[in-house]
């Protein structure tokens, strides 16, 4: 039985796990603490620093679990680093918001004990494949988790962005840009731009224009089973395409971007009974407005 199947089955692992701890160099002390906790539970831990930044070696075969230290940005880098060999990840929040990295650092020991007892669940998140097509040739491929963004850029005038769905022209946006988001990315840049929150276990793409010239250009949600192409006939000198916040390439006239659902899926380990709306209430302060947010910032003080 492959090592990762011990977690995929939802049963107690029963044997020591091969665990990789990833995160930034700033979290080295926390990585050491987590490694000690893992060793105390009998697991084998390897530490990797700065995943996704070109300095970390690719993941080795046989990894059972990845513990990601940091915030949601660290989760995005880890997902990209894992590539097509996605294994379950436990996100430990060292930042502030943490929609994806939602295990507080003080709860790591308890979370690992729950995992060892089989009291956990695995939640798959849709990923996407990005292709930049120039002159009929694919010049860049990327795997993403949150979103692809087309930005008009300097000289900061609107550009035209054509959206084609399964080969059929859908609309032309005249706007400052366009966000193409997955459900898990709907609470990131998409939300800041006024887009909707989409339940993260859905398979869909969210198209949110940035400052559209026409008020009828609203956010559209469509099935991830379709193929999408975004064309930019006349970009600005500073126009660019991004994947998960990283600039992939500047855009030149005639460029096209292809987006489709990826075969690998990013898998997060969820511990305890913290549900979807619990997360939204906690992270977006839905449970009591500004006062609840202020209490949360003070560590729960009344």
Q: Which of the residues are catalytic? A: 72
Helix (H) or strand (E) holding 82: helix 72-82
Query: How wide is the angle at C-alpha 173 spanned by C-alphas 167 and 175, nearest 5°?
Result: 150
Q: Is 135 exposed, middle or buried (0-12, 13-18, 19+ CB in 10 A)?
A: exposed
Beta bridge partners of 160: 174
Which token pair is 91? Answer: 């996100």
* Torsion sign across C-alpha atoms 153, 154, 157, 160: negative
Query: E strands, the chain, where?
Result: 18-23, 44-49, 65-70, 89-93, 103-104, 120-134, 137-144, 147-151, 159-165, 168-175, 177-181, 204-210, 220-223, 228-232, 240-243, 246-250, 255-271
Contact 138, 279 (CB under 8 A): no
* Cis peptide bond N-terminal to 190, omega within 30: no
């Amino acid at each position: 039985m492959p090592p990762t199947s011990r977690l995929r089955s939802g049963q107690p692992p029963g044997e020591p796990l091969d665990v990789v701890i990833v995160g930034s160099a700033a979290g080295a002390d926390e990585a050491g603490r987590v490694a000690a906790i893992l060793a105390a539970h009998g697991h084998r831990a390897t530490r990797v620093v700065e995943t996704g930044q070109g300095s970390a070696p690719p993941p080795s075969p046989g990894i059972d679990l990845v513990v990601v230290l940091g915030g949601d940005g660290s989760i995005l880098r880890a997902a990209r680093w894992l590539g097509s060999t996605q294994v379950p990840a436990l996100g430990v929040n060292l930042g502030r918001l943490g929609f994806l990295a939602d295990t507080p650092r003080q709860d790591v020991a308890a979370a690992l004990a729950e995992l060892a007892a089989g009291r956990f669940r695995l939640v798959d998140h849709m990923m996407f494949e990005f292709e930049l097509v120039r002159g009929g040739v694919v010049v860049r491929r990327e795997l993403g988790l949150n979103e692809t963004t087309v930005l008009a850029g300097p000289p900061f005038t609107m550009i035209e962005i054509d959206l084609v769905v399964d080969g059929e022209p859908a609309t032309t946006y005249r706007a400052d840009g366009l966000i193409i988001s997955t459900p898990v990315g709907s609470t990131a840049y998409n939300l800041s731009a006024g887009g909707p929150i989409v339940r993260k276990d859905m398979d869909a793409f969210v198209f949110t224009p940035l400052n559209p010239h026409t008020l009828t250009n609203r956010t559209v949600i469509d099935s991830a089973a379709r193929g999408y192409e975004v064309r930019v006939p006349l970009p600005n000198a500073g126009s660019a395409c991004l994947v998960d916040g990283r600039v992939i390439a500047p855009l030149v006239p005639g460029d096209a971007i292809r987006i489709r659902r990826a075969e690998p899926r990013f898998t997060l380990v969820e511990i305890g009974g913290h549900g979807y709306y619990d997360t939204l209430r906690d992270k977006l302060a839905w449970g009591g407005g500004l006062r609840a947010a202020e209490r949360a910032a003070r560590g729960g003080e009344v």
